Amino acid sequence: MSADLILKNANVITMDSGYPPAELVAIKGNKILAVAGKEALGEVRGAKTRVIDCQGRTIVPGFNDAHCHILSFVRKLRSLDLSPSSVSSILDIKTAIRRQAKSLPPGSWLTGTDYNEFYLAEKRHPNRRDLDEAAPHHPVALFHRSLHACVLNSRALSLAGITRETPEPAGALIERELETGEPSGLLFEMVGYIMERVVPPLSDDELAEAVAAASEHYLSMGITSLQEASATNDFTRWQLLKRFTEGGRLKSRVFMMFGAGALSQFQQMGLAFGAGDSYLRLGGVKLMLSETTASLPELNQPAFSAHQAGFQLAIHCLEPDAVEAAIAALEYINSQSPIAGRRHRLEHCSECPPPLLERLIRLKAMVVTQPPFVYYSGERYLATISPSQLRWLYRLKSFLDGGLVVAGSSDCPVAPDNPLLGIYGAVTRRAESGEYLSPEEAVSAEQALAMYTINAAYASFEEDIKGSITPGRLADMVVLGADPLKSPPEQLKDIRVEMTIIDGRVAWEV
């Protein structure tokens, strides 16, 4: 059988122990036909075969971001960039807002993303009065880099119906001015509500344009699969993503998790876990835990209901109390119904002290974590977290040594989604400032690459169709300018994606 496309003279890292490094990959349709040495070229080459000479470059499986937020990233593309690379003070933020407001009709919304008070000169969040001064005639919403906080000006607060009398929403916090009791504009754990219910949605044309731009970005990063982890996802979001994947606007494959409140919607539509196709697949039930909600026993019931319905669980947990609550929920479920083989996931699992690690290992749960946080947030962690806690932060090596399967992700737009920077963070444990964060938790380059390929595919029960360069798997691959397994660790973050292949077709190239 002759191939449609052949990549030759390559350094092929298969991520499949049954297929050692090779020099050639042959593709037929959207599947990998052969992985072999250069001597096999004549056997798979036909009269119409396209042949690409990789000239010694490295091919790896397509990158899989196992926890991200697609539509939040789409929003970011149409918002002011307030990241530390763009602003260094609240004065800078006000200047950027003032400039943007001049180009918008009065009354139209203005949004900004990625501000981080740690890197601002004032070392505080902006407040409603800062934003009122910069844009008195526009509703303004700024979203923190973490997506766990946002700031609204007076007009936006009014449109959100948030006043002095508004009670604290469950699991959220409305910061108040000490002198007046009025909302300061700073809201915690309300980003989803503000984005979904208050800020007007993009028009169809704006959304289509932004999704296409996001898709091009993902391809430029070598990301061929995305695991959408927003707790606000529901059947309407499923239909929206289906429209964009089927229409070709969003070319990377999507595994969509959804909030516990939407479980009945999918059940009524007859959609079970894993429903869909290779472009859009229905994922697990996302359950949110924070410091304010970690001790609530109510977690057990929705978690058990989703487990009984056959769905994977994806439990958001950061701090030790939340991690313990997530583990306790899985232990409770396991006492009622076996969880072996269900691959229930702890999303983030940021701080995991030894007693919790031991319980997690006994459960054999998955950890889906964020190695790029070591790079992008390491300086803040070192400045704000006690040394005793730092030892338990993003314990990649400990998780792997305990036999857990660990998948890598970005939580984008919380952090940039370049997988090679995630691999760099996992291997070097080095922050952007140059400081080291718990270097004893560093892993090998091969282990880090697995987190973004075969392990990420395992996290979505798709390791039989992607995640490795194996005959019969989907032909999703990335051509890199250097070998991440042989490059000096400090150079990992500088490796360039030169070509991205999805479904056997070149979808992006330099």
Detail the DSSP E strand segments found in 210-307.
223-228, 253-259, 280-288
Give the CATH number, domain containing residue 50.
2.30.40.10
The pLDDT tens digits of the residues spanning 446-477 come to: 999 999 999 999 999 999 999 999 999 999 99
Give the C-alpha distances (Å, rounded to integers) separating 170 from 32, 147, 182, 189, 296: 49, 17, 19, 9, 11
Considering the domain boundaries, does residue 455 fall inside one?
yes
The pLDDT tens digits of the residues spanning 383-420 come to: 999 999 999 999 999 999 999 999 999 999 999 999 99
DSSP secondary structure code for residue 198 in this structure? I
Residue 474 has a pLDDT of 98
Co-location of 155 and 253 in the same domain: no
Residue 293, pLDDT above cutoff 60:
no
Locus of tokens 């149409």: 78
Question: Which pair of structure tokens corresponds to residue 263?
Answer: 């479980």
pLDDT band at residue 297 under the 50/70/90 scheme: low
Co-location of 222 and 192 in the same domain: no
The pLDDT tens digits of the residues spanning 131-164 come to: 999 999 999 999 999 889 999 999 999 999 999 9
Is residue 312 within 8 A of residue 330, CB to CB? The reply is no
Considering the domain boundaries, does residue 507 fall inside one?
no
Domain of residue 209 covers: 64-69+202-502
Residue 194 has a pLDDT of 95
Question: Distance of alpha carbon 119 from its chain centroid, rounded?
Answer: 23
Co-location of 297 and 313 in the same domain: yes
Considering the domain boundaries, does residue 509 fall inside one?
no
Of 143, 170, 198, which residue is a domain's last? 198
| Helix, strand, coil shares, percent, the chain, to 5 | 35, 25, 40
Question: Is the overall model pTM greater than 0.85, yes or no?
Answer: yes
Co-location of 208 and 188 in the same domain: no
Residue 246 has a pLDDT of 96
Question: Strand 58-61 and strand 11-12: pairing?
Answer: parallel
Co-location of 145 and 209 in the same domain: no
What strands lie across the sheet with 31-36, from one edge to the other? 31-36, 24-28, 5-8, 50-53
Co-location of 241 and 358 in the same domain: yes
Residue 295, pLDDT above cutoff 70:
no
pLDDT band at residue 192 under the 50/70/90 scheme: confident
Co-location of 232 and 318 in the same domain: yes
Co-location of 313 and 426 in the same domain: yes
For the residues 356-385, what does the mean pLDDT come to? 97
- Average pLDDT of the chain to the nearest whole number: 96
Residue 219 has a pLDDT of 98
Residue 292 has a pLDDT of 47
Residue 442 has a pLDDT of 98
Co-location of 219 and 264 in the same domain: yes
Co-location of 43 and 149 in the same domain: no
Co-location of 46 and 142 in the same domain: no
Give the CATH number, domain containing residue 368.
3.20.20.140
pLDDT band at residue 244 under the 50/70/90 scheme: very high
For the residues 345-368, what does the mean pLDDT come to? 97
Domain count, the chain: 3
Considering the domain boundaries, does residue 349 fall inside one?
yes
Residue 196 has a pLDDT of 86
Considering the domain boundaries, does residue 508 fall inside one?
no
Is residue 475 within 8 A of residue 467, CB to CB? The reply is no
Considering the domain boundaries, does residue 510 fall inside one?
no
Residue 312, pLDDT above cutoff 90:
yes
Give the CATH number, domain containing residue 110.
3.10.310.70
Considering the domain boundaries, does residue 321 fall inside one?
yes
Residue 296 has a pLDDT of 53
pLDDT band at residue 290 under the 50/70/90 scheme: low
For the residues 74-95, what does the mean pLDDT come to? 96
For the residues 64-77, what does the mean pLDDT come to? 95
Q: Which helix (H) or strand (E) holds 80?
A: strand 80-81
Co-location of 174 and 255 in the same domain: no
The pLDDT tens digits of the residues spanning 166-178 come to: 999 988 999 999 9
DSSP secondary structure code for residue 359 in this structure? H
Is residue 426 within 8 A of residue 443, CB to CB? The reply is yes
